[in-house]
Structure 1
């Protein structure tokens, strides 16, 4: 498949890029700093210098791709952000113009506390995690509404806590490598289309 990837300089995005290339996909990466993208020799990839919040820097490259994978994120926990919401809205606009249908984007399991969550975990999520990441979560919630309102073949993935270990085997955390693998393995899984996973 021909994939367009946002957020490839982050922990999950970097693993996604490597796995996608290893699987034989042709990948186009949009990055503010192309020098931060590490590619194997003769990789089937292109790197475009662009900012998701400035679609004129990359929207012309959207045409011809089979799917868009977004690992957008921010390391700034102290200030409000629009990188998730406005960034994803820009992606959706460009997809609609180019006729690209498949979108997979990352959110967070911390947005909601599922019924049956143990009391300790519920308290930590509500009074620690949701407060610590309040700006990011607020913007993710807006992003999810924007994605769900589109008629694309979208999937929103809400992973739990991310780790750098090869595999966690736990339900309260997932490795970034496992998350990247899940994104790729379910690209053509219609059961995940227009679903929050």
Structure 2
């Protein structure tokens, strides 16, 4: 497949890029700082486009011809509000619509919602530590998910993937998922396995218009 990737300089995005190339896909990676793209020796199967997701005029022309778009967008600024998830995803969807590309898989977080099955200690940490620490990012993720579920995103076969706490553990390919439902007692997940989940959901029809929880 021909895949267009955003957020490849982050931990999960770098894993996704490596796995996509390893699986033989043709990849276009959009990055604000191309020099930070972690893979540079993939030959003709990797094209790097300099661009900011919040400024689509820099990368919009690269969208046509791709089979799917995968987004690992993120913000490292915890002190200030961000629009990288919501506005960035809106820009991606609009460019996809213009280019006739229909499939989108994007990254969110399980921290947006505290489900009844979460153990009490984890519930307290999530509510009083994690959600407060990442409140700006979570607020924008919620806006992103709301946009994808709304009429303006109609025609896009989107999937939102929500992981729990991430680690730098190895790729195992063994994890649990739930489409539009909740996992029982979700644990951590390696960034490598999260990337694997994102990549394998591209051609999974069951994940269309679904919020997918993933965890060990």
Fold shared per TM-score above 0.5: yes
Greater shift, 127-136 or 178-187, is seen at 178-187
* TM alignment of 1:143-162, pairs within 5 A: 143-149=144-150, 150-151=153-154, 152-162=156-166
What's the CA shift string for 1:111-155, capped at 9, x where partnerless? 001122211111111100000000000000000111112221110
* TM alignment of 1:97-176, pairs within 5 A: 97-149=98-150, 150-151=153-154, 152-166=156-170, 171-176=186-191
Do the aligned partners of 1:21 and 1:43 also contact (CA within 8 Å) in 2?
Answer: no
The TM-score normalised by the length of structure 2 is 0.88
**Alignment RMSD, CA only?**
1.3
Greater shift, 127-136 or 116-125, is seen at 116-125
Do the aligned partners of 1:89 and 1:146 also contact (CA within 8 Å) in 2?
Answer: yes
Which aligned runs of 4 or more in structure 1 are off by greater than 2 angstroms?
A: 38-41, 167-171
What's the CA shift string for 1:1-27, capped at 9, x where partnerless? 000000000000001001000100000
Do the aligned partners of 1:167 and 1:174 also contact (CA within 8 Å) in 2?
Answer: no
Query: Please, which runs of 5 or more residues in structure 1 have no aligned partner?
Result: none
Query: Please, which runs of 5 or more residues in structure 2 have no aligned partner?
Result: 176-185
The TM-score normalised by the length of structure 1 is 0.96
For residue 192 of structure 2, what is the aligned residue in structure 1?
177
Distance 1:21 1:167 in 2: 15
Do the aligned partners of 2:105 and 2:201 also contact (CA within 8 Å) in 1?
Answer: no
Q: Please report how far the alpha carbon of residue 165 of structure 1 lies from its aligned counterpart in structure 2 after TM superposition.
A: 1.0
For residue 85 of structure 1, what is the aligned residue in structure 2?
86
* TM alignment of 1:35-74, pairs within 5 A: 35-37=35-37, 38-74=39-75
Distance 1:81 1:113 in 2: 22
Do the aligned partners of 2:21 and 2:42 also contact (CA within 8 Å) in 1?
Answer: no
Aligned pairs, number: 197
Greater shift, 166-175 or 109-118, is seen at 166-175
DSSP 3-state at the match of 2:118: coil
